[in-house]
Structure 1
């Protein structure tokens, strides 16, 4: 078993954690990275690199806090601030690769041109992987692998909507993938299109130098600042206790938090869909830009002319200089047949968004083919841990029909939630679902007799990734201590020693207060609903 070779496509976040997962289980990973360094989307370059998907802009700050986005057994240094500029995440990934000796398993400057089943696939489950040196079309090499992990990411191909008249527009047209700084928009009139995190970041930054910025929203947006009460990171809301509440309560909490900072009706952000059925824009600056008139919201674009943009409400912006589409990305698996890995979300048939259900042998996995509200790295890590255990037969997949039924059910739920098949999952429930497959989901009842405080923190506190190293295969000896200190570590760089001493008592008091509040909510819900 230990001699199985696994091909990994891409050395970004999902590729790195896949290498580590393979090594953890005694497999031999070979990672193919088309560029000259690791990091994927977190590697900054002034220009878009060949075949690059999403890219960094210089001002980018993480939308997830350090303790929520770290890998389960490799926390950020304690003195790291809660939110990070992109270059500190890149450094973290380099440190991760060095700590676990991952780099020696990466072939840089090597592009996968083709993957296909071997002739004896139905017996062996093996794959033929063809590669070329990046920038050279000739000299293709072929190797045989026992399994393949596709880690080229969901942010693969920039999507630009087909707006009538766009080809006639005489101004600057770009996708946010190309955006680096606001300098080129100084004194310009600019439309930014999109309702996600990048759209908010780009609009708010350009507004500081442009003459006017318009933010075009198809169906509104839910805007949440990164910081919540007392300056705690907003993503600390991602708790199992909240995710187990009725959805309307969770939506009500999110809407209340969003409108406390920016009244969505007053600023043209009104969204017909509930927060859990829509994208959320994490942004601290955009509210000020609305309030000062530097950014004005507009509905969906309907047409461009040579120097103007028209919107769905009939309004027009004349003298337009530029449009930036922050409209997301499409899937792209150029190295695979569409029948195996389709490029349209509607056609993707991945069991729990990891395993193609139609394969006779479960030796191919897709890591990171989803989006979520919250941190992505812990999800990718769990997917990778599950995948390698399936490769080895340590975990079993259900039969084909059961998997297809689950896929159909998931697609139906996504259509009901978003109006179409959008590969976006609820963060903590999806993580826990994959963790349960592996046997690492933190169990309140299993932890309670061993460590009551830890059990309460795992259920009532933020769902930190380190909690997936407490139980099951490949636990981390430092997991329990770190799980207890993660909340305090979040603001550690700014706290005085005196406040640090008070933290354990405050944490326990807050947990008990939360339990009491939950009990009241349950009683009210059962009595009046």
Structure 2
């Protein structure tokens, strides 16, 4: 593919954790005349902006089932008056008592630790403040309250002579604008377009009992579920957390999960675990499971089934990036749109620690766009995508669970650090490298989180891993002794 030599302006879509990292790493190249991050919210932080309750009117936009990416950009659910101006509010999946499921010593940016006095698993408002501080020195590059509606490729003679035209709305004034850039970094995330599977009978059930079925995106508090029978579909991070919270208020919580071993089961006696749902039956609000068991008179069903890959502002691309919603198509290394790699994506992978992965990817993108790194040939990039698809399938394409995520971060580090130096512009910003301690912590963190949850409310007093009995140095000494003694 060769090196880019004429990229002088870069647009970043999104000013959440990934978009902020993108701006920092692009800026550190000292190469670009213009770096602009567009964010539809009026504050930085992306999904870490708490938006409170979402009205039933706007929850009605949730089609059931929902198995294909949205065809249009997200609409605001309400407006707020702030310091004399009107701001648009876009729903966030953050709920009242959300705290991270990753220790902050692992999830932080490379050059910015979390405050020493915050809990090991910080609440969402601490993360939001952390992101605001991280954005402090790049505010001049941010255009907040601007929603990207359409991104079009204006093709020139060859890959080096293309432009991207972005049409966006200034949400404060309502003005429609257009700007052109040499390259685009899509850092819009994938936690806005809910996925609800098409299970037999679900449409009829929803039509007969409107409002009973919802998605974790709209969950805020366990109080509305007091004395109710509630079914939680899915038992990953959000399913575990929401079922645990609701179980303290509900009469009965049923968690429907795939039939495979889980380490994240709650100890609550009010939670029953069932296999996958086989059928919805409108009569008596009944759910039948694949093992033949059934639950009748169900009051609420919350799908904690994740989100779809959705980029409605990119629908003009000749080779699409979002079709089924299961993955992003035509990408190399989960980053570069190989038909035209002046378009890049951040944090597409799942089962990762997002902040450091965003940094690792942003470093790669910044060095490619500045011309200090070359990409493989188009054929090689297509082969990479084909091979991953063959190995993992469409649903698993972006899954980088441990140890793949650690290896990915370190591989990107090696690639980025191999970039040729530019004496007049410097060496750019150094991305993360995860050493043995980071790798060990990453491997342990599901157990670390489980240990914290067992402490109940006192888990908020935990400040370090040793408080929970996880000591890397002690583990290392034990491993050393085992090797000396032998089998």
Fold match, TM over 0.5?
A: yes
Measured after TM superposition, the shift of residue 210 of structure 1 is: 0.5
Counterpart of 2:271 (choices 262, 270, 295) is 295
The CA RMSD measured in Å over matched residues stands at: 2.9
Deviations 1:73-100 (A, max 9, x none): 11112222211111110110011111xx
* Cα pair 2:170 2:177 within 8 Å, conserved: no
Q: Does 1:149 align with 2:129?
A: no
In 1, distance between residues paired with 2:261 and 2:38? 38
Measured after TM superposition, the shift of residue 55 of structure 1 is: 1.2
* Cα pair 2:147 2:170 within 8 Å, conserved: yes
Match of 2:51 in 1: 45
Inter-CA distance 184–157: structure 2 relative to 1 (3 Å threshold): same
Measured after TM superposition, the shift of residue 32 of structure 1 is: 0.7
* Cα pair 2:99 2:122 within 8 Å, conserved: yes
**Matched residue SS, 1:184:** helix
Deviations 1:105-152 (A, max 9, x none): 11111111111222326242321111112388x743221111100001
Of Structure 1 and Structure 2, the greater helix share is in 1
In 1, distance between residues paired with 2:407 and 2:398? 14
Inter-CA distance 117–35: structure 2 relative to 1 (3 Å threshold): same
In 1, distance between residues paired with 2:154 and 2:22? 23
In 1, distance between residues paired with 2:16 and 2:196? 24
* Cα pair 2:51 2:92 within 8 Å, conserved: no
In 1, distance between residues paired with 2:358 and 2:91? 18
Counterpart of 1:514 (choices 475, 479, 484) is 479
In 2, distance between residues paired with 1:493 and 1:519? 25
**Matched residue SS, 2:364:** helix
TM-score, scaled to structure 1:
0.70
Match of 1:13 in 2: 17
* Cα pair 1:53 1:155 within 8 Å, conserved: no
Counterpart of 2:246 (choices 195, 202, 206) is 206
Q: Does 1:183 align with 2:219?
A: no
In 2, distance between residues paired with 1:296 and 1:39? 36
Counterpart of 1:35 (choices 32, 41, 64) is 41
* Cα pair 1:67 1:490 within 8 Å, conserved: no
Inter-CA distance 459–377: structure 2 relative to 1 (3 Å threshold): closer
* Cα pair 2:336 2:343 within 8 Å, conserved: yes
TM-score, scaled to structure 2:
0.76
Counterpart of 1:383 (choices 354, 357, 361) is 361
* Cα pair 1:19 1:102 within 8 Å, conserved: yes
User: Structure 1: which 5+ residue stretches go unaligned?
Assistant: 225-285, 442-456, 466-488, 496-502, 525-529
**Superposition pairs of residues 74-473 of structure 1, within 5 angstroms:** 74-98=112-136, 101-120=137-156, 122=158, 123-134=160-171, 139-169=175-205, 170=209, 172-224=212-264, 286-289=265-268, 292=269, 294-306=270-282, 307-337=285-315, 339-344=319-324, 345=326, 348-359=329-340, 362-372=341-351, 374-415=352-393, 420-425=395-400, 426-439=404-417, 459-463=435-439
* Cα pair 2:13 2:148 within 8 Å, conserved: yes
* Cα pair 1:22 1:29 within 8 Å, conserved: yes
**Matched residue SS, 1:461:** helix
* Cα pair 1:11 1:31 within 8 Å, conserved: yes
Give every structure 1 segment of 4 or more consecutive aligned residues whose post-TM-superposition deviation is greater than 6 Å. 492-495
**Matched residue SS, 2:135:** helix
Aligned length: 402
**Matched residue SS, 1:102:** helix
Measured after TM superposition, the shift of residue 363 of structure 1 is: 1.3
